[in-house]
Amino acid sequence: MNKFRFLGLTLAAGLTLASCGTTKNVSQVKQETPATEVKKPEPLPQKFVSLYKDEDLKNWQHTNPFDSHMPGMSTEKAYQELLKDKPAQTVIVAVVDAGIDINHPDLKDIIWTNKGEIPDNGIDDDNNGYVDDVHGWNFLGAKDGKMAGPEQLELTRIVAKYRKQWQGKPIDSIAPEDLEMYKMYQRAEKDLAKELEHIKALRMRYNRVSAMAENAEKTLKKALGTDKLTKDAVKNLKTDDPMVKQAKQMYLAGLNSEALKGFKHYLEGQEKYNLNLDFNGRIQGDDPDNINDRNYGNNNVIPPNADELHGTHVAGIIAQIRHNGIGGDGVADHVLIMPVRAVPDGDEYDKDIALAFRYAVDNGAKVINTSFGKYYSPHKDWVWDAIKYAADHDVLIVNAAGNDGKDMDQYGDKMSYPNDGDEKGKEISDNFLNVGAIGPNYGADMVAPFSNYGKETVDIFSPGQKIYATVPFSDYKFLQGTSMASPDVAGVAALIRSRYPELTASEVKHIIMDSGLSPQIMVIKPEEDDYEGEPKLVKFDTLSKSGKMVNVYNAILLADELSKQKQKKN
């Protein structure tokens, strides 16, 4: 879920883009307050004034919107007023993602440990099929300890696999059992051609801008009499020379070699790996088309370098230590993070994801976060079976809706995967929560411009822009994407399950959806190909199934009420 959205000449964004039925109304309950009890807090109202403040955003997602005037989740208010003396038990949250820095100072004390495994003895002590899986499992590794690197996109893999067999063949020559895959191949061929043209155009534009930036830097170095530029030095440069002034303006606007590194890396990754038909990054030694070939992977869940930051950031959003004076604050306390490395730089394999889900379920996770996605899934049935397996074991899956500004209701079987079924409005199970992203400005631009949406296919929105959390190694960073919105909600789910373990995964899902706030405002609708002309304004509540944004305070109130109802019945 990491499409790089290109707007004009802005090649380097100030923030990195990271990675995609009828709601059961459990909120219609009577609120009885016995005379002997302290009056129960009222749910938060549905409207608040829009007064955006340019303030510290490191924990904006936890603010109460009626105090901060930002669409936060009221996390702090919930802790202060509703959870202070509430007993809790520890909940395991599996992060199926890239590697996680399990030694990060804000994460090391909350990493799950497999107590049934003796470390580094080369024996599968707990007989779960994974040797020495002390802190999770790496499905991107080989048994000899090697780590997989970049990967192709799924559409590239499909074209590479079937082009020789099917290129130029008419549909009436295809065997009935191959028709579904043949149609997928045809679509992949067209999409690959479009992606290659897109990357070619971006490469040409990058080359022009890079040359401009290089010339500007030469001008600035000469004016400053230095071989190395710094932002402060350029900012303080006094000059009447129009060429130097222009160079200074470009440099400070982000058109400089340092700021362009990220986009250069993106282009090279697309050209060399993601869209390269001749590249094969699978080093695991297994057959990725055989779900029963499971003897692969290793126990190394740590990122090999600082660039593999996604999983660590997601883990931090969920549960980085609260109020310890460093970094940001996680959503949930009483959580253990289970690292499951299955998402490469490129598209994940269906087999790895299906097995990762089953690994998480079998080893005690009650919430699984999935901040990744793709638009082709040749073995989607394996993943759906794993989602149903999670449902059978009362595990909630919280998923990122995607970062392409698409209306998922319009895509049918071309929707983002993983999902809970590609028939609009029909779910394969009731344990899957699909999350879109909002930003810190309560107003027309509240919905993140990159976020996928859909009245039938996206369940709810939560903070996913300018989110500050852990990255390797012992560092922190602002990132954005539905990849950041999803772990916010996974944290809320873990928070509920830690205090109300009697509530099921399905009940927690609908508590989160039913208890959200539904601001009655018009917002700019995300666009798949960026905005052409005037942005279109739509009602916020038309962009998701619930029509709401997550609110922890109301979720705890509703969870408490439903818990009491269940206790009375029992």
DSSP 205-246: HHHHHHHHHHHHHHHHHHHHT-SS--HHHHHT-----HHHHH
Q: Which of 3.40.50.200, 2.160.10.10, 3.40.50.170, 3.40.50.300 is the CATH number of 56-151+281-569? A: 3.40.50.200
Question: How far, in Å, are 202, 474, 555 from residue 477 at the CA level?
Answer: 26, 11, 28
Q: Which of 284, 224, 273, 287 is nearest to 251 (CA)?
A: 224
Strand partners of residue 462: 437
In 3-state terms, what secondary structure has residue 308?
coil
Give the pLDDT score at 350.
Answer: 98
Phi, psi of 373 (to 5 degrees): 170, 165
Quote the CA–CA distance of 336 and 91 in Å, as a whole number. 6
User: Residue 405, SS3?
Assistant: coil
Q: Specify the pTM.
A: 0.90
Q: How far apart are alpha carbons 68 and 55 in whole angstroms?
A: 9
Which tokens go with 355?
A: 């097995």
- Which runs of consecutive H residues, i.e. helices, occur in 363-470? 380-392
DSSP, collapsed to helix, strand or coil, labels residue 537 as strand
Q: How many residues does the chain have?
A: 570
Q: Can you read off the two tokens belonging to residue 76?
A: 């702090």
Residue 227, strand partner residues: none
pLDDT score recorded for residue 17:
53
What tens-digit pLDDT sequence spans the chain (570 residues)?
444 333 233 333 333 455 443 333 333 333 333 333 445 567 766 654 444 444 578 999 999 999 988 999 999 999 999 999 999 999 999 999 999 999 999 999 999 999 999 999 999 999 999 999 999 999 999 999 999 999 999 999 999 999 999 999 999 999 999 999 999 999 999 999 999 999 999 999 999 999 999 999 999 999 999 999 999 999 999 999 999 999 999 999 988 888 899 899 999 999 999 999 999 999 999 999 999 999 999 999 999 999 999 999 999 999 999 999 999 999 999 999 999 999 999 999 999 999 999 999 999 999 999 999 999 999 999 999 999 999 999 999 999 999 999 999 988 767 899 999 887 778 999 999 999 999 999 999 999 999 999 999 999 999 999 999 999 999 999 999 999 999 999 999 999 999 999 999 999 999 999 999 999 999 999 998 765 668 899 999 999 999 999 999 999 999 999 999 999 987
Domain boundaries, the chain: 56-151+281-569, 154-274
Pairwise CA distance, residues 26 & 557, whole Å: 12
Q: What integer pLDDT is reported at residue 426 of this predicted model? A: 85
Sole residue written with tokens 């009375």: 568
Whole-number pLDDT of residue 55: 55
Count Cβ atoms below 10 Å from residue 322 Cβ, excluding itself. Answer: 17
In this prediction, residue 69 carries a pLDDT of: 86
Query: Which pLDDT score is estimated for 40?
Result: 58
Q: What is the phi/psi pair of residue 434, to 5°?
A: -100, 125
DSSP letter assigned to residue 343 = -
Q: Is the distance from CB of 173 to CB of 181 less than 8 angstroms?
A: no
| Paired tokens of 9 | 């000449």
- Rg value, the chain, Cα: 24
The pLDDT of residue 16 = 44
